[in-house]
Amino acid sequence: MKKIKKRTVIELVILVVLIVWASWYLFMGRKITGVDDNVAVGDEGTHSLVVYFSREGVIPDGIDAASSASPNSNQYEAESDTEAAAKMIAQLTGADLFQIRTDRYYRSAFWGTAATAWIEEALNLRPGLAAKPESLDKYDVIYIGYPVWWFNAPMAVGTFLESYDLTGKTVVPFCTSTDNGIDVSMDYIREVSGSATVLDGYRAHNSGLEDVSAWLERIGMLEQTDEQQDTETGLTKSEADIADTDPEVSELPNVTEGTEAYRDFVIDNVYHSADAGDIHYNVYIPESYDGSKPYALYFTLPGYEGLYFQGVAANIESEEFGFEAQKYNDEMIIVAPQLNDWGETSADQTIALVEYFLQQYHIDTSKVYGNGYSGGGETMSIVMGKRPDLFTAYLHVSSQWDGEYEPVVDNRLPVYFAIGRNDEYYGSAKTQRAYDTLYDLYERQGLSKEEIDSLLVLDIKEHDYFTGRNAPNEHGGGGLFAYDEEIMGWLFSK
Ligand SMILES: Cc1cc2nc3c(=O)[nH]c(=O)nc-3n(C[C@H](O)[C@H](O)[C@H](O)COP(=O)(O)O)c2cc1C
């Protein structure tokens, strides 16, 4: 008995010592001193300030770091990532510049910094700052830059922004990261920016001055210096070029248009929806479209690999639905949204974007199609449960049904279910159940088998369908349904 007690006491002491040591290690890095609250002054009379949090350029004694010693993701090898991006913005806009420094260094070991950052994020802490400007009154625009830490912004960014009244100001977030986009951190930035207007964020990745300049122009923050404005139209040369080729697209309200293309798609357009937030999408508009006659509309939602945080255009780089669809109707606008999850938020964003396209483009409302693959199928099934009235037919690929059933039946929305018998993620039983549920509901409404078959198709593919097409597995092979004329032909014949 005594022995057990003694052992327990020793273990407890070791545990306490470990906790004290870990707390000291994680939160008691060397104090950052000698920092003042002065901003680096930009152009005379500027009303913009670039604020950034970043790795310290020089690490005293190599012991501590203000953030990670991670490899640079920009073209300015000598500096830490966010600092380089911040300096480019300041250089281009003439804004003042200020670096946020916490009152203590983070540990130079990556996992030291990572653990501290994780705890700070999990507990929504606000680390103290070494210094900050007394007032931001003279600024209208605050650019706020940070490295993505644990998908989010470092908490020190919150400490900084929350310590000012930002009413009437515009906050422009930008980040650097190894993989993740800025979107996940946007909720946090909005939250800590109070009543400021927060613009859509920008991720600087392998970015040089030209990229940063293009972004600043896009969001209207850069005066047109090298681009003469047309006095009649008020458009810059590049805007006028786009307007020449596609007047419908260039004058879209509440949309920041993408400037780059992948195959036939203009990528990374953003619809700023008042209700559903910023919605990223890639879009294919046939060259023949001039708004004079109605076109079909097709929305394709990708699996997890194509979500926005996987990278711009990751959806159309990894799936062929948007390209194969073009073979079935050359008068069809194809939208490939890149959302951030497969639940309710993304479903509401999809609905908002469909409504937007119906409003802004000349669409034949009897030809509005949707498909969702994997996680995208989960999202699309919620969409179909909420707004089946918007669609003509829906293709549900290698997924599960998360939406309502009754509205689908009440609207007589044709649905095609396609999946592998032994789909590695979902199996096929859930798909079978979804099909059976819809089938039962139609039967209860008195529809004949023939009528139901014209509305519902259950297509469970056996394993050899996938092996015969060199698919890596049945779930991944769901992407091959894009090439299947029977499946795609069904969708676009409705
Ligand atoms: C604690 C910590 C967490 C990180 N988390 C992420 C992450 O979730 N996603 C990501 O893409 N990069 C992540 N990174 C990498 C940094 O965002 C990236 O290297 C950034 O460009 C560093 O910028 P800096 O040099 O200005 O500190 C993380 C780095 C650190 C130190």
pLDDT for 140 equals: 94
- The answer to whether position 471 is within a domain reads yes
Q: Examine the domain organization and report whether 179 and 288 are in the same domain.
A: no
Rounded to an integer, the average pLDDT of 285-292 is: 93
Rounded to an integer, the average pLDDT of 414-432 is: 96
Ligand 1 centroid to Cα of residue 149, in Å, is: 5
**286: which residues sit within 8 A by CB, 6+ positions away?**
295, 326, 330, 331, 332, 333
Judged by DSSP in three states, 67 sits in: coil
pLDDT for 179 equals: 86
Q: Is the dihedral of CA 303, 305, 308, 312 positive or negative?
A: negative
Name the one residue in this structure whose structure tokens are 């929504």. Answer: 124
Name the one residue in this structure whose structure tokens are 């004949």. Answer: 448
In the predicted structure, residue 193 carries a pLDDT above the cut 80: yes
Q: 77 vs 70, 143, 365, CA distance in Å?
A: 12, 22, 52
Q: Examine the domain organization and report whether 286 and 203 are in the same domain.
A: no
Domain boundary among 193, 218, 243: 218
- The answer to whether position 232 is within a domain reads no
DSSP-derived letter for residue 292 is S
pLDDT for 56 equals: 57
Burial pattern 201-210, b for ≥16 Cβ within 10 A else e, equals: bbbbbebeee
Q: 96 vs 173, 217, 303, CA distance in Å?
A: 16, 18, 42
Rounded to an integer, the average pLDDT of 207-227 is: 77
203 CB within 6 A, ligand 1 = no
| Residue 79 banded pLDDT, cuts 50, 70, 90 | low
Q: What is the mean pLDDT of the chain?
A: 87
179 CB within 6 A, ligand 1 = yes
Ligand 1 centroid to Cα of residue 120, in Å, is: 15
pLDDT for 209 equals: 84
Q: Examine the domain organization and report whether 341 and 201 are in the same domain.
A: no
Nearest to 255 by CA among 264, 268, 265, 245: 268
CA distance 247 to 194: 37
Q: Examine the domain organization and report whether 206 and 255 are in the same domain.
A: no
In the predicted structure, residue 423 carries a pLDDT above the cut 90: yes
Contact by Cβ (8 Å): 129, 101: yes
Q: Examine the domain organization and report whether 213 and 317 are in the same domain.
A: no
Q: Examine the domain organization and report whether 81 and 134 are in the same domain.
A: yes
197 CB within 6 A, ligand 1 = no
- The answer to whether position 442 is within a domain reads yes
Rounded to an integer, the average pLDDT of 434-449 is: 97
| Residue 55 banded pLDDT, cuts 50, 70, 90 | low
Tell me the CATH number at 130: 3.40.50.360
Q: Which domain holds residue 40?
A: 30-218
Rounded to an integer, the average pLDDT of 378-399 is: 97
pLDDT for 237 equals: 37
Q: Examine the domain organization and report whether 291 and 430 are in the same domain.
A: yes
Ligand 1 centroid to Cα of residue 35, in Å, is: 24
In the predicted structure, residue 52 carries a pLDDT above the cut 50: yes
In the predicted structure, residue 111 carries a pLDDT above the cut 60: yes
Q: Examine the domain organization and report whether 255 and 330 are in the same domain.
A: yes
In the predicted structure, residue 148 carries a pLDDT above the cut 90: yes
81 CB within 6 A, ligand 1 = yes
In the predicted structure, residue 461 carries a pLDDT above the cut 90: yes
309 CB within 6 A, ligand 1 = no
The β-bridge relationship of strands 265-273 and 96-102 is: unpaired
Judged by DSSP in three states, 152 sits in: strand
What value, to the nearest 5°, has the Cα angle with vertex 107 and ends 164 and 105?
A: 35
Nearest to 155 by CA among 83, 84, 102, 80: 102
381 CB within 6 A, ligand 1 = no
Rounded to an integer, the average pLDDT of 438-449 is: 97
Atom of ligand 1 nearest to the CA of 180: 11
pLDDT for 3 equals: 65
Ligand 1 centroid to Cα of residue 195, in Å, is: 28
pLDDT tens, residue by residue, 239-271: 333 333 343 344 678 899 999 999 999 999 999
Rounded to an integer, the average pLDDT of 231-236 is: 38
pLDDT for 72 equals: 34
Judged by DSSP in three states, 74 sits in: coil
Rounded to an integer, the average pLDDT of 19-46 is: 87
**Residue whose CB lies within 8 A of the most ligand 1 atoms, among 51, 59, 148, for a mutation test:** 148
pTM tops 0.75: no
Domain boundary among 199, 218, 237: 218
180 CB within 6 A, ligand 1 = yes
70 CB within 6 A, ligand 1 = yes
Rounded to an integer, the average pLDDT of 114-120 is: 94
Nearest to 335 by CA among 344, 327, 326: 326
Ligand 1 centroid to Cα of residue 206, in Å, is: 14
Ligand 1 centroid to Cα of residue 180, in Å, is: 9
The residue whose CA is least distant from atom 4 of ligand 1 is 149
In the predicted structure, residue 1 carries a pLDDT above the cut 70: no
pLDDT for 2 equals: 60
| Residue 329 banded pLDDT, cuts 50, 70, 90 | very high
**Which residue type is seen at 217?**
E
The residue whose CA is least distant from atom 6 of ligand 1 is 149
Ligand 1 centroid to Cα of residue 407, in Å, is: 44
In the predicted structure, residue 62 carries a pLDDT above the cut 60: no
Ligand 1 centroid to Cα of residue 421, in Å, is: 41
- The answer to whether position 361 is within a domain reads yes
CA distance 440 to 455: 13
Atom of ligand 1 nearest to the CA of 55: 27
CA distance 94 to 287: 40
Token pair in block for residue 220: 């209207």
- The answer to whether position 17 is within a domain reads no
148 CB within 6 A, ligand 1 = yes
Share of the chain above pLDDT 70, in %: 88
pLDDT for 482 equals: 97
pLDDT for 420 equals: 97
**Residue whose CB lies within 8 A of the most ligand 1 atoms, among 151, 177, 183, 184, for a mutation test:** 177
* Structural domains of the chain, count: 2
pLDDT for 65 equals: 39
27 CB within 6 A, ligand 1 = no
In the predicted structure, residue 235 carries a pLDDT above the cut 70: no
Nearest to 84 by CA among 189, 196, 259, 211: 211
Q: Examine the domain organization and report whether 42 and 156 are in the same domain.
A: yes
Contact by Cβ (8 Å): 278, 331: no
Ligand 1 centroid to Cα of residue 177, in Å, is: 5
In the predicted structure, residue 355 carries a pLDDT above the cut 50: yes
| Residue 160 banded pLDDT, cuts 50, 70, 90 | very high
In the predicted structure, residue 204 carries a pLDDT above the cut 70: yes
108 CB within 6 A, ligand 1 = no
Contact by Cβ (8 Å): 336, 315: yes
Ligand 1 centroid to Cα of residue 324, in Å, is: 37
**187: which residues sit within 8 A by CB, 6+ positions away?**
none
In the predicted structure, residue 324 carries a pLDDT above the cut 80: yes
Number of Cβ within 10 Å of residue 244's Cβ equals: 10
149 CB within 6 A, ligand 1 = yes
Tell me the CATH number at 481: 3.40.50.1820
The residue whose CA is least distant from atom 29 of ligand 1 is 149
In the predicted structure, residue 59 carries a pLDDT above the cut 70: no
In the predicted structure, residue 273 carries a pLDDT above the cut 80: yes
Please provide residue 394's backbone torsions phi and psi, each rounded to the nearest 5 degrees. Answer: -135, 135
Please provide residue 486's backbone torsions phi and psi, each rounded to the nearest 5 degrees. Answer: -65, -45
pLDDT for 253 equals: 83
- The answer to whether position 11 is within a domain reads no
The β-bridge relationship of strands 332-338 and 277-284 is: antiparallel
